[in-house]
Amino acid sequence: MSEITCKYMDEMGETGVGITQEDEINMDVKNSFTTKWAIIKEACPWFFDMWELIAERPNQVPVGLGHS
């Protein structure tokens, strides 16, 4: 489940920055983000629950990687 969630976290990328709960997404508006979310929700309905569990876990979501 964590691998699936990480995959969708990457897929949502910067588009979903700041959204922490499903009810913050206005599905009445049709755009690329809501279209992508509809697909993700169908495949991974537990996305936000898992995101809360693993978002701060460095073994699941590495931080500090990059060029210095």
pLDDT in tens, 26-59: 889 898 888 888 998 998 888 888 878 876 665 5
Question: Would you say residue 61 lies in a domain?
Answer: no
* DSSP state letter for 55: T
68 assigned to some structural domain: no
Task: Report pLDDT digits (tens) over 9-32.
Answer: 777 766 556 677 888 888 898 988
Domain count of the fold of the chain: 1
Position 59 in a domain: no
Q: In this structure, is residue 26 part of a structural domain?
A: yes
Quote the tokens at residue 21.
């709960």
Residue 64 lies in a domain: no
Owning domain of residue 41: 2-54
Burial class (CB in 10 A: 0-12, 13-18, 19+), 67: exposed
How many C-beta neighbours within 10 Å does residue 3 have?
A: 8
Q: Is residue 20 part of a domain?
A: yes
